[in-house]
Structure 1
């Protein structure tokens, strides 16, 4: 017994206790793997590309962009399913990176190769491509969307795999990692909204799309160079199958009573949960009818091996309960994303109609104003990580300072002011358009584009709270990402109906925020069974 205990102590010191393995499937060694070394992530001007190179009107161009962005996020369902069920995050990222680069390369070719570039353009720079040329553009864009679907739901989760939650020091580093991960993403967005927009506008679309393709190729090489350092979570099987099993088993036992003593519900006997990469979850009282699937009947006890479609574990049931609790929160995020999608479409089109001059000889591209959204995030993330979180941690006692729902609530509230600022500027702009006769027929109204800065800065502040990624499994990550998809599709509907930004967006956001407050009060965090005295996991979807 003493020898066995000594072996356990040695194992805990040398190896991770979270189930992660190395490339050969052996338990990951703490020293030399994971942590920050193994944690690695341009179409800001796309709406103008649609207008000039594809000859589309404002509303059509905006809708094409939001439909494409929506597809980038909806395809994450594919990537998340493959990662969680079969391939694992590493091989999913590696596979879909190839598709992504192919799409970027083809996109660059549609803007530089003779025959793919539209040759019929008017004096205003608006081109009229042939149907094959337009088709080539959209094939390239949707290859990028498919590639994104495999990368986006896995990158942050793969980063989370590099930190052992059972190690107090690594757990704290993990929380900080996500803030800085989000910071680095926005540094890339800063380059995209400034340097790349300038290149696309003043040098050419071929270079504007070719440079991102080359940079992505370098990123892929860097990703593969880090392979020996990575820790990997084994695929845990299809979460969709597990969810279906709980629903079927509960339906089969609809007339079975749930015991008052929930410790009698079925669970694995050993320390493992039965789901690779997941630990046992403590029973919760919500959605009690689902507990029927974990009631062990006389027939289950007599069977040599109970079918998973008749008898499920408590952890499996709690996994479904977590998703069910998340769905109302997820729904409020759709309206939030519909608002944020305006930054890449209607904000840009709004900027095209005002004075772009920045001094006597320089004009700023309207798409470059997203730089202020990014600057807001880049400035606020270090403040949040180094000042706000430690201050909140000292008050709440939570490792991350705030719960994820509290962060999202603040983000939703701030987003209301961003949309109100955009709506107020649009009212002023439309009033100026109505007075155009007083200063002559011109293409722009005499309002500086820098009046758009407040709406971008406020939107960035909202994103720091509402959208900064946290540790989640790939399928739960994709639930958050699908709010982006449905939010962009909702934006398409709004643009089709309204065709311009108005203060109505602010009113919609306020109603959404009030609904969110009700949902947040109702939500209960999941608890791990191995930490029964914990306050509850601060991340509702980990």
Structure 2
């Protein structure tokens, strides 16, 4: 008779083997033929045959990269270029007040950033990457054509208005707003299909984190078919599926901390634009800086900082911290949150100075005699925030999620930006209503920025950022990085890494 220990060991091996992939136990046993095939494969990859290199050459390479980078570059050029100037377009051409324009921009940005989740699902489950990107590229083209027609054809936007400060101007009609929304919708479809990322090959180990979820892998009577396959996939889960869900579950607190940080970043395209439009934008007697081009300051900051950080700062820092990236990914994200807080404080202080100058020396258009370069400090600080937090988030999600969730992992970053856009719209509407005076006094975010108090709105976001930073410190100190190993392409057939580790 078998001992209790041997029975338990046999049962453990059985349910782990079955649940790991949902296949029979026999599928994980190495046979002489599989050993021979493995040896042949190893010899084949060793380059003994002159034809092996040509036969094993995979599609892709630099030729494929040129197409991928080209497609991505032009999509981002269109979307980011539109985002930088869209606030100005809504204020000057559609005659919206800054609250409504900010809401339109935030809602569209939120939809666009949520769209990659749908694109990732369609790409991984139904269409495949090529068809998804092809359809999305067509959507981006249709969106840009529609918005070009909106700006070009007089019937698709309100008539020009020369009233001082933009008062009493005719707003857009319902049909004009519908065409505008259609163009933005096409762009959202385009962004949703192009932005999901590539697959990273990783395998997950069985962990003790959220151990109660491991019960989903225990085989009950009637849950296996005669051939050993899973007959009830909604009840019986594999170890891989359980660990995938654990990855998602434990990263949600970290993901939530990025929303307020991104809310601060979202102000670059809204109220920072309103500030710049009421400042002196001249560089010399003949050149005036376009309002939408100020975002270049933060982009240049990122472009200059990243090579300096990677090539100069990381190597000596790595020797001290013994961490591959100099500091951990969570530490990088925390530093980015800190810079976003400083950026909002700087924005508030600059707005106090700008508004005081405008009220004292304002011209006929309400433009303050103060250089627009006063906005550079807040944009530079926001550039550092993006360099640390955004890139840290992207690397964090790619390293913490398994291979068949890689597109969703990359899309999770976009969901952070989407949540921030909706939170920004919510804050704008709440502040607009709560701060409105009883006797007709203007609120913080009134149409005339010189009559409002945008600096208080910046300080409010900075205060939320401080609370978010405390929350992030608590979450990051308790976070445990995922245990993972890399799978070699020449892995032995039938060899299961999860089984090997668990059985030991």
TM exceeding 0.5 = yes
Radius of gyration: which is bigger? 2
**What's 1:522 paired with?**
478
Once the two structures are superposed, what CA deviation does each residue of 1:107-154 show, in whole Å capped at 9, x if it has no partner?
1111223533544543668664443223212211121112111112x2
**2:496 aligned residue:** none
Q: Secondary structure at the match of 1:446?
A: strand
Report the structure, 1 or 2, having the larger helix content. Answer: 2
Structure with the larger RCO, 1 or 2 (CA within 8 Å, 6+ apart): 2
For 1:419 and 1:508, the matched residues in 2 are separated by 11
Write the distance in 2 (CA, Å) between the matches of 1:129 and 1:459.
33
Query: What's the offset of the Cα at 1:482?
Result: 0.7
Whole-angstrom distance in 2 between the partners of 1:479 and 1:32: 29
The answer on whether the counterparts of 1:98 and 1:147 sit within 8 Å (CA) in structure 2 is yes
Equivalent-residue separation in structure 2 for 1:299 and 1:46 (angstroms): 59
**Gaps (5+ residues) in structure 1?**
15-26, 166-277, 532-542
**Structure 2 gap ranges (5+):** 1-31, 48-53, 73-80, 399-405, 432-444, 446-453, 488-504
Q: Deviations over 1:201-258 (max 9, x none)?
A: xxxxxxxxxxxxxxxxxxxxxxxxxxxxxxxxxxxxxxxxxxxxxxxxxxxxxxxxxx
Partner residue in 2 for 1:305: 229
CA deviations over 1:143-184 (Å, ceiling 9, x no partner): 1112111112x2xx23xx4xxx7xxxxxxxxxxxxxxxxxxx
When structure 1 is superposed on structure 2, of 70-79 and 424-433 the one drifting more is 424-433
Cα distance in 2 for residues equivalent to 1:528 and 1:8: 25
Offset of 1:368 from its aligned partner?
Answer: 1.6
* TM-score (norm: length of structure 1): 0.67
TM-superposed deviation, 1:52: 1.3
- Does structure 1 conserve the Cα–Cα contact (< 8 Å) formed by 2:362 and 2:369? no
Structure 1 window deviating more from structure 2 (32-41 vs 128-137): it is 32-41
- Please tell me whether the aligned partners of residues 429 and 445 of structure 1 are also in contact (alpha carbons under 8 angstroms): yes
Q: Quote the Cα distance in structure 2 between the aligned partners of 1:396 and 1:60.
A: 48
Alpha-carbon distance in structure 2 between the residues aligned to 1:384 and 1:351: 30
Question: What RMSD in Å do the two structures reach over aligned CA positions?
Answer: 2.8
Q: Aligned-pair distance for 1:30? A: 5.2
Would the alpha carbon gap of residues 31 and 395 (structure 1) be closer, same or farther in structure 2, given more than 3 Å must change?
A: farther
* Residue in structure 2 matched with residue 493 of structure 1 by the alignment: 426
Give the Cα–Cα distance (whole angstroms) in 1 for the partners of residues 55 and 170 of structure 2.
Answer: 56
1:31-58 Cα offsets, whole Å, 9 max, x none, are 6634685252221110010011111011
CA shift at 1:66, angstroms?
Answer: 1.1
1:146 corresponding residue in structure 2: 189
1:401 and 1:483 mapped to 2: Cα distance? 25
CA–CA separation in structure 2 for the residues paired with 1:93 and 1:505: 36
Per the alignment, residue 375 of structure 1 pairs with: 300
Determine the structure 2 residue equivalent to 1:461: 384
Distance 2:46 2:387 in 1: 36
Separation in 1, partners of 2:364, 2:329: 51
User: Who is 2:107 aligned against?
Assistant: 67
Q: Any idea what SS the aligned residue of 1:467 has?
A: helix
Contact (CA 8 Å) 2:110, 2:419: kept in 1 or not? yes
Question: CA distance change for structure 1 residues 30 and 331 in 2, over 3 Å: closer, same or farther?
Answer: farther
TM-score scaled by structure 2?
0.72
Contact 2:88–2:291 (CA<8 Å) still a contact in 1? no
**2:203 equivalent to 1:280:** yes
For the residue of structure 2 that corresponds to 1:447, the secondary structure is: strand
* Deviation (angstroms), 1:347: 0.6
Q: How does 1:119-518 map to 2 (within 5 A)?
A: 119-122=159-162, 128-152=171-195, 154=196, 157-158=197-198, 161=199, 279-300=202-223, 305-306=229-230, 307-395=232-320, 399-433=324-358, 435-436=359-360, 443-468=366-391, 469-470=394-395, 472=398, 473-498=406-431, 499=445, 500=454, 501-518=457-474
Contact map agreement 2:93 2:160 (CA 8 A) in 1: no
Alignment pair present for 1:108 and 2:148: yes
1:504 deviation in Å?
1.8
User: What is the distance in 2 between the residues matched to 1:418 and 1:491?
Assistant: 16
Distance 2:107 2:353 in 1: 29
SS in 2 for 1:490: helix
Note if 1:33 corresponds to 2:60: yes
Q: CA deviation at 1:93?
A: 1.4
